């Protein structure tokens, strides 16, 4: 009986350590160079831009970030890091330039979209759409 209790406690402790490790991975800082963070979005956020951004988001981003940007896409569980929840203030408080940079350049599990979405106006439209995902 005592061995079973020790085993159960060990399993729970390992599970907690795994959750803590995942939380550390999730919050890894992603610095953006100041010159990129300060870039102003040249694409007006209007119905046309948001619709274009939504279509591109659905095609390229939803599989990881989820349809509503909650980080719960069909591929999210397969990734080493949890995709950002785009509705949270942590992401929404970032500048448009920072979001554009991250979408363009990518890092780790987040691919670069410079080649997949080569038109910079389209990338800015994705930024405009991401802005609609806030809670």
Q: Where are the domains of the chain?
A: 1-28, 31-133
The answer to whether the predicted template modeling score (pTM) of the entire model surpasses 0.85 is no
Spatial distance between the Cα atoms of 82 and 38, rounded to a whole number of angstroms: 26
Q: Do the beta carbons of residue 73 and residue 83 sit within 8 Å?
A: yes
Q: Distance (Å, rounded) from C-alpha 104 to C-alpha 37? A: 12
Q: Check pLDDT > 50 for residue 8.
A: no
What is the distance between the alpha carbons of residues 99 and 4, in angstroms, rounded to a whole number?
49
The answer to which of 35-39, 78-82, 95-99 has the lowest mean pLDDT is 78-82
pLDDT band per the 50, 70, 90 thresholds, residue 45:
very high
Helices within the chain (DSSP H only) = 2-26, 34-37, 47-60, 62-65, 89-92, 96-105, 120-130
pLDDT band at residue 135 using 50, 70 and 90 as cut-offs? confident
Class of domain 31-133: mainly alpha
- Give the closest residue to 101 by CA, choosing from 81, 123, 82, 86: 123
Residue 68 has pLDDT above 90, yes or no: yes
Q: What is the pLDDT of residues 12-23, one digit of tens each?
A: 544 544 444 444
Task: Kindly compute the dihedral angle of the four CA atoms of residues 125, 116, 118, 25, in this order, to the nearest 10 degrees.
Answer: 60
pLDDT of residue 22: 44
In this prediction, residues 62-80 reach a mean pLDDT of 96
């Amino acid at each position: 009986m005592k061995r079973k209790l020790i085993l159960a406690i060990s399993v729970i402790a390992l599970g907690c350590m795994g959750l803590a490790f995942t939380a550390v991975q999730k919050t890894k800082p992603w610095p953006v160079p100041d010159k990129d963070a300060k870039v102003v979005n040249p694409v007006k956020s209007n119905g046309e831009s948001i619709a274009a951004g939504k279509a591109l988001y659905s095609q390229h981003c939803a599989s990881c970030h989820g349809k509503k940007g909650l980080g719960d896409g069909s591929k999210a569980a397969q990734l080493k890091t949890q995709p950002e929840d785009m509705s949270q203030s942590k992401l929404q408080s970032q500048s448009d330039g920072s979001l554009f940079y991250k979408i363009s350049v990518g890092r780790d599990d987040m691919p670069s979209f410079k080649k997949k979405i080569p038109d910079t106006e389209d990338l800015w439209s994705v930024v405009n759409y991401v802005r609609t995902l806030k809670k």
